[in-house]
Amino acid sequence: MLTIDSLLRTSSFVNGFWVDAENGDTFGVVNPADGTELARVSDLSPADARSAVVAAHDAFPDWSARLAEERASLLMQWHDLMMENADDLALLMTLEQGKPISEARGEVAYGAAFVKWFAEEARRAYGDVIPSHDTDKRILALRQAVGVVLTVTPWNFPIAMITRKAAAALAAGCTVISKPAEDTPLSALALARLSELAGLPPGVFNVIPTSRPAEVVEALMADTRIRKVSFTGSTEVGKIIMGQAAPSVKRVSLELGGNAPFIVFDDADVDVAARDVLASKYRNAGQTCVCANRIFVQDGIYDAFLDAYRRLHTGLRVGPGVDEESDIGPLINQEAVDKVVRLLDGATQQGARIVLGGGLIDGAAIGGGSHAPGNTFFAPTIVEGVRDDMALASEEIFGPVSAIYRFSTEEDVIRRANDTPFGLAAYFHARDNARIWRVSEALEYGIVGVNTGTISTPVAPFGGMKESGFGREGSRFGMDQYLEIKYVCIGGLSR
């Protein structure tokens, strides 16, 4: 059992109280690095979760009416506490999620930075005074908080995916019910504890862990008091949530699956490109929606790139996230391993060739020995000769597998890169200025990284096109998702 001080919370946080499930049910949170149970957390039923709706609904009038400055300073206090407790938050995250501790520290800072960003933005939710069409009238556009917001977030970023929704919503004056992933509720509950210490009023930020997400979310989506849902997760579940929003016409933001192309053109700096592909591909063991999923390399530099890319792998260490030396941690669970194995097997059976890795390792280093039961440490893998009609090309791998594709012309690679229902992130390396503009504009993706493999920051709008969803998180656009525009027409001015 885990015992890191007061940040370890196992009850839900509703209306400022730590509350267990009515029937006392709990579920286990497992460390993916060794399969041990870290803690048991309250397992909320749909009826339990409804108490959070009452709390958030009751808290809304006061919270939304407060001065922006007041909300901003409470959020800033929350940010500061996150940073003061960054080491404990990172350890908790690594234990329940598996990512290397250095990445967990990075995520705590990334998550806290959203809180700071939106604390600053709270004061700038400006409306407009519009030149009137009539001398007798004045026209205003006010921006007002949407209401109670439900956030539904995944296990791959247990803190940052919550704060980039919740901080924007809270800054706008909304109240929040956060439903964390069942694999990683401890980080969310630690955030709730810090929100309590920061002085956020009861009911303003609530966290409801459950092992029955589909049932609980369905019940909450049917509640007309919830006015907005923001979801990060699979496209499949996103479509269900979008359907559930229809009867009460809830506002929806969806950040869904990706199938990111990373294109390396002939004019790229091959070594720099190889380094950036590696950074994009193996972040969080390949378990992000923006990881390079298809690596397209142009004919003229194909061999040089593969050589450089392969050489970079010799320095990678795979092991438990708590080990400071680890670059890549375990996959989240056996299901994740099974998916990667299925995609790789399918590709090799259809003629793809494994260049490096290709299976589980013992958690020590690449090339390590035995396959312990429950081991989810997957070796960084390079596979070439992949074709666009293989499942490896059309599904999100969510594991440390670099699938390399060859291409000849710019026109061809743009067509292939766009030939997917997804449109979250895309990357390319090139030096020709005209090509940089042309390709950036031609890629049908919400995010395009040019000569970089890292694009995530609170100051930029994060979000997708097509079946990768809609709505933007972070940046000055992030708060729009939680604000209604109200048109006020003041007449009778010339009477």
The one segment of 86-94, 154-162, 342-350, 365-373 that binds ligand SIN by CB under 6 A: 154-162
Binding mask 280-309 for ligand SIN (x = CB under 6 A): --------xxx-------------------
Told to check if 181 binds ligand SIN by CB under 6 A, we report: no
Q: Which of 289, 384, 410, 467 is catalytic?
A: 289
Closer Cβ to ligand SIN, 358 or 464, answer by number: 464
At its nearest, how many Å lie between ligand SIN and the CB of residue 331? 14
Decide the pairing of beta strands 138-145 and 483-490. antiparallel
Q: Which of 255, 384, 467, 473 is catalytic?
A: 255
Closer Cβ to ligand SIN, 93 or 200, answer by number: 93
Closer Cβ to ligand SIN, 10 or 156, answer by number: 156
Looking at the DSSP assignment, which residues form a beta bridge with residue 404?
Answer: 295, 384
Closer Cβ to ligand SIN, 114 or 309, answer by number: 114
Told to check if 157 binds ligand SIN by CB under 6 A, we report: yes
Among 326, 456, 468, 481, contact with ligand SIN (rule: CB under 6 A): 456
Burial 49-69 (b: 16+ CB within 10 A, else e): bbbbbebbbbbbeebbeeebe
DSSP letters for 155-177 = SSSTTHHHHHHHHHHHHHT-EEE
At its nearest, how many Å lie between ligand SIN and the CB of residue 432? 28
At its nearest, how many Å lie between ligand SIN and the CB of residue 290? 5
Closer Cβ to ligand SIN, 42 or 284, answer by number: 284
* SS3 of residue 70 by DSSP: helix
Closer Cβ to ligand SIN, 253 or 298, answer by number: 253
Phi-psi region of 345 (alpha: psi -120 to 50; beta: other; left: phi over 0): alpha
Among candidates 176, 170, 231, which has minimal Cα distance to 208? 176
Closer Cβ to ligand SIN, 160 or 328, answer by number: 160
DSSP letters for 438-474 = HHHHHS--SEEEES-S----TTS-B--EETTEE--BS
Closer Cβ to ligand SIN, 211 or 288, answer by number: 288
Closer Cβ to ligand SIN, 184 or 232, answer by number: 232
At its nearest, how many Å lie between ligand SIN and the CB of residue 255? 6
* Distance between CA atoms of residues 104 and 368, nearest Å: 25
**In degrees rounded to 5, what are phi and psi of residue 447?**
-135, 130
The one segment of 72-80, 113-121, 156-164, 201-209 that binds ligand SIN by CB under 6 A: 156-164
At its nearest, how many Å lie between ligand SIN and the CB of residue 462? 6
The residue nearest ligand SIN at its CB is 456
Whether 289 is a known active-site residue: answer yes
Contact 163, 7 (CB under 8 A): no
With residue 128 as reference, give the H or E element that holds it.
strand 128-130
Residues that contact ligand SIN, how many (by CB under 6 A)? 10
* Distance between CA atoms of residues 270 and 253, nearest Å: 37
Told to check if 117 binds ligand SIN by CB under 6 A, we report: no
At its nearest, how many Å lie between ligand SIN and the CB of residue 459? 13
The identity of residue 269, as a single letter, is D
Told to check if 482 binds ligand SIN by CB under 6 A, we report: no
Told to check if 156 binds ligand SIN by CB under 6 A, we report: yes
Give the ranges where 378-409 is alpha helix by DSSP (H): 391-394
Contact 151, 213 (CB under 8 A): no
* Distance between CA atoms of residues 35 and 41, nearest Å: 16
At its nearest, how many Å lie between ligand SIN and the CB of residue 294? 16
Contact 11, 19 (CB under 8 A): yes
The one segment of 87-95, 153-161, 274-282, 307-315 that binds ligand SIN by CB under 6 A: 153-161
Among 232, 280, 326, 402, contact with ligand SIN (rule: CB under 6 A): 232
At its nearest, how many Å lie between ligand SIN and the CB of residue 110? 7
Please report the sign of the dihedral spanned by the C-alpha atoms of residue 92, residue 98, residue 102, residue 108: negative
At its nearest, how many Å lie between ligand SIN and the CB of residue 487? 34
Residue 293: partners with Cβ closer than 8 Å, 6 or more residues away:
258, 259, 260, 261, 396, 397, 403
With residue 293 as reference, give the H or E element that holds it.
strand 292-298
User: How many CB atoms neighbour CB 451 within 10 A?
Assistant: 15
Chain residues binding ligand SIN by CB under 6 A are 156-157, 160, 232, 255, 288-290, 456, 462
Residues marked active site are found at 255, 289
